[in-house]
């Protein structure tokens, strides 16, 4: 039995990269308090004293924030409340304020309105995986310290953050569309564009936790329809869109073509490598082969790594990489910045790249090879089977002598292109993707995925969402 001073989290809420759940069902203010108690205890035992706390625009966020702060204070930790804003603003507070030893953002990211959760930074490093499980074990055991209570104070950091975003921005007059999707990035974008040269057209910058206009997930092309209309009507140079907490970017060019995460990374890589020749640039295992080839062609060192923003950030620290990105729109700049994923900063780096390289965003998108690829396909598999299936696939491919990269699942290269099958770290799904230079080649790759699934007693069947 748990002690009176203890807490059991819902088993689905403690995930690989964050804590997340459905408010009132798998997540509530008691969870928030327990997170504050466990995180605060852990920080206090390593000499930490202060945690920056921020929250997104979801209706449940203020209640969870209040409980989290109470939990931190009861563990002897001071809370610096920076208020409502995007996750990268919280990361900025943690990275730039000397007296802050950790950070927690209350956010449901790109999930539906009834979700919420917590993203954490611990003494300058990502807090994920075993760290999150440890919070759960500490809460269940009531392993919480209760020294003299900490204090809570407020600090308005948004103007400082906006000024930092503007560093290095060239004085050039692009015409840009910005779609905040009623997410937490809206107020920052409003302040930012007032200080920028050029012409800026804003969509849905008012924060609304119900997301009345469209779901804030720029990896879903349907959510970019409003931005495409705006860019077409106003004849803008390009448009950018953001997820619910502002750490993932979407973009379209002046012709309304989506510039996916790995294509944005091609643009950023060309710009960065002109300044840092030979640098290592990291992308996740779902990225196009065209990206890896382009980085090598530009003289950089491409490095394929596991999907997941915390995993990518850790690999950047290990390798000293100045730039990394994921298909999901997380982009990480250590070059001239802090190394965390900040979609608003990524939008400004797109402006810088275009200005410095002397090429429009549309031209750079047009210069990329047209690959034929699938979207990310997700399909249900029993939690107990998902990793086992990948092991079975890898064993069969090894026996066949296939050209396989097993960094994160199975990524198989063939004469037609490549296909990927991996287990999601956060859901009971397998993720598949394939890319070829022809439709016939893509069909052959999909047939190989189907054959591997069938050999493990599964069918591709219906795909499921995020």
Q: Domain-by-domain residue ranges, the chain? A: 19-155, 160-366, 372-455
| Per-residue confidence in pLDDT tens, the chain, 466 aa | 344 589 999 998 998 889 999 999 999 999 999 999 999 999 999 999 999 999 999 999 999 999 999 999 999 999 999 999 999 999 999 999 999 999 999 999 988 999 999 999 999 999 999 999 999 999 999 999 999 999 999 999 999 999 999 999 999 889 999 999 999 999 999 999 999 999 999 999 999 999 999 999 999 999 999 999 999 999 999 999 999 999 999 999 999 999 999 999 999 999 999 999 999 999 999 999 999 999 999 999 999 999 988 899 999 999 999 999 999 999 999 999 999 999 999 999 999 999 999 999 999 999 999 889 998 898 889 888 999 999 999 999 999 999 999 999 999 999 999 999 999 887 789 999 999 999 999 999 999 999 999 999 998 764 444 3
CA gap 323, 315 in Å, rounded: 11
Q: Which fold has domain 160-366?
A: Alpha-D-Glucose-1,6-Bisphosphate; Chain A, domain 3 (3.40.120)
CA gap 123, 315 in Å, rounded: 17
Strand 102-106 and strand 238-242: pairing?
Answer: unpaired
Cα-atom radius of gyration of the chain, to the nearest Å?
22
b/e burial code for range 42-76 (CB count within 10 A of at least 16 → b): bbbeeebebbbbbbbbbebbebbbbbbbbbbbbbb
Domains 19-155 and 160-366 share a fold: yes
Question: Structurally, what CATH architecture does the domain formed by 372-455 represent?
Answer: 2-Layer Sandwich (3.30)
Residue 109 annotated to the active site: yes
Q: Decide if domain 19-155 falls under CATH 3.20.20.300.
A: no
Helix (H, G, I), strand (E, B) or coil at 456: coil
CA gap 255, 227 in Å, rounded: 12
Close Cβ partners of 243 (under 8 Å, ≥ 6 residues apart): 109, 110, 181, 183, 216, 217, 218, 250, 329, 343
Determine which helix (DSSP H) or strand (DSSP E) holds 179, and give its type and residue range.
strand 175-179
Structure token digits, residue 372: 């034929």
Which residue among the candidates 109, 254, 321, 328 is catalytic per the annotation? 109
Place of tokens 């959760």: 117
CA gap 275, 165 in Å, rounded: 19
DSSP secondary structure of 339-404: SSB-HHHHHHHHHHHHHHHT--HHHHHHTS---EE---EEEE--HHHHHHHHHHHHHHHHHHT-EE
Determine which helix (DSSP H) or strand (DSSP E) holds 139, and give its type and residue range.
helix 130-141
């Amino acid at each position: 039995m748990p002690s009176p001073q203890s807490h059991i989290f819902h088993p689905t809420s403690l995930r690989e990269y964050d804590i997340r759940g459905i408010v009132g069902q798998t997540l509530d203010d008691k969870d928030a308090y327990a997170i504050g108690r466990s995180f605060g205890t852990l920080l206090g035992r390593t000499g930490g004293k202060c945690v920056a706390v921020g929250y997104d625009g979801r209706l449940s966020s203020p209640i969870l924030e209040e409980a989290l702060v109470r939990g931190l204070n009861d563990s002897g930790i001071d809370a610096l409340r920076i208020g409502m804003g995007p996750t990268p603003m919280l990361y900025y507070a943690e990275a730039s304020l000397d007296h802050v030893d950790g950070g927690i953002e209350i956010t449901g990211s790109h999930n539906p309105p009834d979700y919420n959760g917590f993203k954490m930074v611990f003494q300058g490093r990502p807090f994920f995986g075993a760290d999150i499980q440890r919070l759960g074990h500490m809460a269940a055991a009531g392993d919480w310290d209760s020294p003299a209570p900490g204090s809570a104070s407020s600090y308005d950091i948004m103007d400082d953050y906006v000024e930092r975003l503007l560093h290095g921005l060239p004085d050039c007059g692009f015409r840009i569309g910005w779609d905040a999707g009623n997410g937490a990035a809206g107020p920052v974008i409003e302040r930012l564009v007032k200080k920028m040269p050029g012409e800026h057209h804003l969509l849905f910058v008012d924060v609304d936790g119900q997301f009345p206009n469209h779901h804030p997930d720029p990896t879903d092309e349907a959510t970019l329809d409003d931005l495409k209309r705006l860019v077409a009507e106003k004849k803008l140079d390009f448009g950018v869109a953001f997820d619910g907490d502002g750490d993932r970017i979407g973009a379209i060019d002046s012709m309304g073509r989506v510039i996916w995460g790995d294509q944005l990374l091609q643009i950023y890589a060309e710009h960065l490598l002109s300044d840092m020749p030979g640098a290592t640039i990291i992308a996740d295992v779902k990225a196009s082969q065209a990206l890896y080839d382009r980085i090598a062609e530009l003289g950089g060192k491409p490095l394929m790594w596991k999907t997941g923003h915390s995993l990518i950030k850790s690999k950047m620290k290990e390798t000293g990489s100045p730039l990394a990105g994921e298909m999901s729109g997380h982009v990480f700049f250590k070059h001239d910045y802090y190394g965390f994923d900040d979609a608003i900063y990524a939008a400004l780096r797109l402006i810088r790249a275009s200005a410095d390289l002397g090429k429009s965003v549309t031209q750079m998108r047009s210069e990329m090879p047209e690959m034929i690829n699938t979207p990310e396909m997700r399909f249900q598999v029993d939690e107990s089977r998902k990793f086992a299936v990948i092991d079975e696939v890898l064993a069969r491919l090894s026996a066949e002598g296939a050209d396989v990269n097993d960094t994160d699942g199975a990524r198989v290269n063939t004469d037609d292109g490549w296909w990927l099958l991996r287990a999601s770290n956060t859901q009971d799904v397998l993720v598949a993707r394939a890319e070829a230079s022809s439709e016939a080649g893509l069909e052959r790759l999909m047939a190989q995925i189907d054959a591997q699934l069938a050999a493990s007693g599964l069918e591709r069947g219906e795909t499921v969402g995020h």
